[in-house]
């Protein structure tokens, strides 16, 4: 999204004020806005890249503490019992977790340290995607549409590199005797 600089805002204000006195017609003011947007539309970073290193993990942490981690625990419990003669339902898994440790214990079961490690999966997707998009547009001169698509692919690939090993560690530690782990 293009931003207006102080000088361009002042020029726009002068043109609009002149238009109010009758010296410049409204279509001219509209044309001035269009010209200012073209002049100021050069690509610039919207936020510092290091902020993306913090925003991504904070988003995932928010997801984890508001129920995302518990849904992961239920999913893992269901996956580890699939294929047995009698696989429990999600509701029966929930009841067994709550009866073992209480509601709060079941809700944050295994949160430390593995739930917190999941926060790392938010780091690469935002940081790498943002940095790649900036480099493709600013240095390589790619169009916005092509740079967005390519940087999204690169950010997803970076996330996969981080997330897959973490998922494997989580499964192995949560179910140590399983042959699937």
For residues 80 and 76, give the distance between their C-alpha atoms in angstroms, rounded to a whole number.
6
User: How high is the pLDDT of residue 47?
Assistant: 62
What pLDDT is stored for residue 174 in this prediction?
A: 63
pLDDT of residue 34: 54
The predicted structure's pLDDT at residue 151: 93
Cβ-based neighbours of 147, under 8 Å, separated by 6 or more: 132, 133, 136, 137, 140
pLDDT of residue 14: 56
> Do residues 155 and 129 make contact, with C-beta atoms less than 8 angstroms apart?
yes
Are 121 and 60 a contacting pair, CB within 8 Å?
yes
Mean pLDDT by 10 residues, the chain (181 residues): 50 51 47 49 59 80 87 84 80 90 83 77 81 90 92 90 80 64 52
What is the distance in angstroms between the CA of the first residue and the CA of the last residue of the chain?
A: 47
The whole model's pTM is what?
0.55
Q: Are 109 and 38 in contact (CB under 8 A)?
A: no
Chain segment 38-75, per-residue pLDDT in tens: 544 555 556 666 777 788 788 888 888 888 888 888 88
Given this model, what pLDDT does residue 48 score? 62
- Confidence at residue 40, expressed as pLDDT on a 0 to 100 scale: 43
């Amino acid at each position: 999204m293009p931003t207006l600089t102080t000088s361009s805002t002042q020029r726009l204000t002068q043109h609009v004020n002149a238009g109010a006195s009758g010296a410049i017609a409204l279509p001219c003011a509209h044309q001035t806005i269009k010209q200012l947007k073209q002049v100021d539309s050069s690509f610039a970073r919207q936020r510092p890249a290091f902020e993306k290193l913090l925003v991504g993990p904070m988003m995932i942490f928010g997801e984890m503490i508001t129920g995302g981690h518990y849904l992961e625990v239920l999913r893992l419990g269901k996956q580890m019992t699939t294929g047995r003669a009698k696989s429990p339902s999600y509701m029966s898994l929930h009841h067994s977790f709550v009866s073992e440790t209480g509601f709060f214990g079941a809700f944050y079961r295994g949160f430390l340290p593995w739930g917190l490690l999941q926060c790392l999966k938010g780091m690469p997707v935002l940081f790498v995607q943002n940095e790649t998009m900036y480099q493709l547009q600013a240095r390589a001169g790619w169009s916005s549409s092509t740079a967005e698509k390519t940087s999204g692919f690169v950010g997803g690939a970076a996330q996969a590199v981080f997330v897959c090993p973490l998922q494997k560690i989580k499964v192995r530690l949560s179910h140590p005797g399983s042959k699937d782990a």
